[in-house]
Structure 1
């Protein structure tokens, strides 16, 4: 890994924070077909919101979702729209704690939310911690470098399970992460649609 590559990897999460928020599509693997979450993440407010659709499975998990580092709010819907409404509905939300292990969905939500930081990483330490250059690719018409790097939560020993697709200015275009419970990786794609500012859910219905 060259010093330029290390510098771009070091600033990529900070770029998300500088942007304020990014539009994302999160593909969550599952033996039943998986889930696709399409929405926006506010990296300064540490709040995310979007719509969930089942992929190759029934629609029982379809609906709206909003999450923080500690809480997941879900709003089931019978006819889920392709994109989440700009303003979250005012009622019929169900709240639960975000699980820190054992759930591919919650792990994916936590990883996506953690891809922003209010300061750059230490570029000199990244190669020492296993970061490396993998190759080149194209994402949405942008030439990118694919790098193995640290996990979003900074856990040591996980560099070989995380891949970053990073542009020439350090912009993050894709992150792919292997999770312990699934054979397929979680894929987080950025700029898949227009970013919509994230608004907090106005009313939360306790779990029944």
Structure 2
């Protein structure tokens, strides 16, 4: 196995330092309150060195989104791979919400950026993440035999994902308030999934026509 050259190792270390610093600054001040100069200074690199890797703040935000997605996909995948039947989905969802809550703390900068622009808006760093997550959970349900209308299913999955993201983005950071909110969030998502995503049962007004 070929070892990375020292220059490559230094470059990777610089990128990680920049991203770690940006994650912290974006979490505290948002995109509008953070400049590339501030990120470079806090990371201990020159502005020129930062621009070698990232042409602007948006590129840094995209890199944070990519890093979040890579970690999230690995952790969620470990749970999803263990689901073999639709009736196992509720317990998996509770575990996934708990994992997502931990990721929201570790990737607070990404979460802050993802709340500044809706995921369906141009330039939103959350767009690619949301699309990948919807595809993943849609594939899970289809693979488990879900047969409801594809458009309804995808809309429901998107709603559930956005509910989790928005709640975690505004969730208290102190205990016990945080744990209470996360527990209630998990139960809300599970109840919705059991009634709508797994059975396709329509809302009452759709049944009565009112």
Same-fold call, TM cutoff 0.5: no
* TM-score for the superposition, normalised by structure 1: 0.25
TM-score by length of 2: 0.24
Determine which structure has more spread, i.e. the larger CA radius of gyration.
2
Bigger fraction of residues in strand = 1
Higher RCO (CA 8 Å, separation ≥ 6 residues): 1
The structure in which a higher percent of residues are helix is 2
